[in-house]
Amino acid sequence: MIVWLILLLRLPSASLKSRRNLLLENPALHQQLLVLNRGSKRPRLTPLDRALWVWLSHTWNGWKVSLRMLQPDTVIQWHRAGFRLFWS
């Protein structure tokens, strides 16, 4: 019963999201599921995974909302490290 109530409350907010946000949220959530299904106790991110999150943080304002397996500060640190590496 409570699950249905939560779904009914979230439905209006989901319908108000823009199409661009939904198109960017889907691969972000999918990528997190892939990392979690790799089978290790502590999920390890590859450089490609990190690059995806850096790109999402640069192009999408709502990236922090769908990020579940990391802290947003970690992604910002990767972005800064890549910037320093580029200019060195």
Is 12 a domain residue? no
* pTM assigned to the model: 0.57
- Residues 27, 25: Cα–Cα separation, whole Å: 6
C-alpha triplet 17, 18, 20: angle, nearest 5°: 130
**Structure tokens of 17?**
């999201």
Is 72 a domain residue? yes
Number of independent structural domains in the chain: 1
Is 83 a domain residue? yes
Query: CA end-to-end span of the chain, whole Å?
Result: 57
Is 81 a domain residue? yes
Dump pLDDT digits (tens) for 13-64.
666 667 788 788 888 888 888 888 887 777 788 889 888 888 888 888 877 7
Place of tokens 């995974």: 49
Is 9 a domain residue? no
Is 40 a domain residue? yes
Domain that holds residue 83: 19-87
Of 54, 61, 65, the closest CA to residue 20 belongs to 61
